Structure 1
């Protein structure tokens, strides 16, 4: 099993779950965003950072950052299109 590299996560998130309106949470499928994925979304999409700069902020390579960001965006798109709840991994 590959060694997991510790990444730098700075964001503080006030909510750990988002779901479609009008649907009880227990009836929905859930998608979980990892700490790395939510941090990549925060840096690239919320703060508008270039991937190179965001990767340095997280202390990872730019290709790794790109892979994490793409995974996060795919999960978010799936949740929006298919009406799933999004959970953020606990810090």
Structure 2
């Protein structure tokens, strides 16, 4: 299997775990949303960017961006439908810093 290409993100999420209050934590399953999936969702839906433009910002191909979004959708849907926590962690990401020009 090929190693994953580094994905560039603007910043790390402030809150790392979201969980429903209707179920006690000891009885709560969870899904893990990677930082690159979180960033892809932010760019596509909060910033309303086209996939090709968002992929360029993350320095990945548009098909890779599409796969990341699809994976994030599935995990979030699973968490919402099956009352699971969402934890944001991991992934092969680097933080994008502003250049001084």
- Long gaps (5+) in structure 1: none
- Runs of 4 or more off by more than 6 Å in structure 1? none
Aligned to 1:14: 14
Higher strand share: 2
Q: Which has the larger radius of gyration?
A: 2
Cα pair 2:12 2:35 within 8 Å, conserved = no
1:59 aligns with 2:67: no
TM-score by length of 2: 0.83
- Long gaps (5+) in structure 2: 94-101
Deviation at 1:21, TM superposition (A): 1.9
Higher helix share: 1
Please, what is the CA RMSD of the aligned residues? 1.4
d(CA) in 2 for partners of 1:63, 1:26: 38
Aligned to 1:73: 73
